[in-house]
Structure 1
Amino acid sequence: MSVLPNRDRQAERREATRQEIVDAAWEIARRDGLGAVTLREVAAMIGMRSPSLYSHFDSKNAIYDAMFGQAWTLYLAEMRERRLPEEPRRAVLVIAEHFFAFSLADAARYQLLNQHAIPGFTPSDAAYAPSVEVMGLLQETLRGLGVTDTADADLLLALCGGLLDRQLANEPGGDRWVRQLPRVIDMFADEVGLPGPSLRSPR
């Protein structure tokens, strides 16, 4: 007969409370912006006194840190589940489209992960670790497609980041810059010598 391990119910409750705090912080950030996240506002949202938050997070930046790590962990999990077409040029487009979809689905999350939007906030090594895994997996995937130079991978990130910044800054709910993605990936693919038919729509 197997014996189930003893559950640490206190640890489970503590983790559930931490998750509730992080969820509340995301709700505030999405509603009012990342800068609006305060210990007082988070505590009020979950029915907790502000001093009680310090038993879970010792500062507002610690909450941002948990948000940062959570978001990159989610993106990493999505990357691992994603299936790419065999044709290299189209595979790069799918990678870019996935990053765009993830980013545009949550502007506050994109700002926290990619724009250094919080003065004085630097993620901890633990929170930063999944983003390092994301970059490693991206570079490994690109090498498999024929993009072997790190500078070329950097160029792809810069092109996608530029389009995303324009989209979020000027037309958050639209697709004016999103529609440019096939053209931009074609230009990138031409530059680095990726084979395959053109991705852009004929004019």
Structure 2
Amino acid sequence: MLGEPIRDRKAERHEGTKAEILEAAWEIARAAGLAGLTLRDVAHRVGMRPPSLYSYFASKEAVYDAMFAQGCREFLKEQEEVGSTGDTLADLKVIARSFVGFCTEDPTRYQLLFQRTIPGFEPSAEAFAISVKGLEELRRMLAGIGITGQESLDLLTAVVTGLTDQQISNDPGGDRWIRLLDEAMEMYFAHISKRMKAGDGP
């Protein structure tokens, strides 16, 4: 029919193969650690010769970069699904649970997005921009429940990532530190509220 767009099947196949390569890279990283990822292993898993990978990714750092960008997009999607009840403390707990849940469900992704575990790796400007969007979305969500200011944001991320680190490092697959999350948010909220009443701002 006239007016219908012409599909670029070659580009679709190219993108499909890139997605397959990324999936293989994640599987290897989860099994061998991020630093244990090799292009040879990725190529073997997707059934191609290592030099062929360069048609899709220029280097191992480019694979890491694509993984980073993908993880950041998943984090943004997670944040978009967080609802609001209108109760500041209840919403704060929901935000914190969402963040910690996202991180602990895939420790390898958490390490890539929020820790510097790969020597020398720096995300590209394009990938990092997605990460910044995630931070700004968190800032917006907090502002929506009356919590503003850089120090308030920094303290919150320090608390939730601290519990996340403890959970992943000392009780993987369990909930020893996750169980403390609501109590930690109550302590955080009490502290922030005290500052607000003192006139120091949130």
TM-score if structure 2 supplies the norm length? 0.93
Question: What is aligned with 1:24?
Answer: 24
Q: Distance in 2 between matches of 1:192 and 1:58?
A: 47
Answer yes or no: is the 8 Å Cα contact 2:34–2:108 preserved in 1: yes
Alignment-derived partner of residue 53 in structure 2: 53
Instruction: Confirm whether residue 76 of structure 1 aligns to residue 60 of structure 2.
Output: no
Confirm or deny that 1:120 pairs with 2:136: no
Q: Which residue of 2 aligns with 1:193?
A: 193
Q: 1:147-181: per-residue Cα shift (whole Å, max 9, x none)?
A: 11111011000000111111111111111111111
For 1:93 and 1:2, how far apart are their aligned partners in 2?
A: 53
- Would you say 1:35 and 2:12 are equivalent positions? no
Q: Which residue pairs with 2:173 in the alignment?
A: 173
Partners of 1:29 and 1:168 lie apart in 2 by: 16
Give the corresponding residue for 1:201: none
For structure 1, the residue ranges without an aligned partner over 5 or more in a row are 195-203
Gaps of 5+ in 2: 195-202
How many angstroms apart in 1 are the aligned matches of 2:185 and 2:112?
25
Any residues of structure 2 matched to 1:135-154 within 5 Å, and which? Answer: 135-154=135-154
State the Cα distance separating 1:2 from its structure 2 match.
5.5
Moved segments of 4+, more than 3 Å: none
Task: Give the CA RMSD over aligned residues.
Answer: 1.2
Match of 2:131 in 1: 131
Aligned-residue offset at 1:143: 1.1
Letter of the structure 1 residue corresponding to residue 28 of structure 2: I
Q: Which residue of 1 aligns with 2:184?
A: 184
- The alpha-carbon deviation at position 81 of structure 1 amounts to 2.3
Residue of structure 2 in register with 1:91 after alignment: 91
1:164 aligns with 2:167: no
Shift of the alpha carbon at 1:82? 2.1
Q: TM-score, normalised by structure 1?
A: 0.92
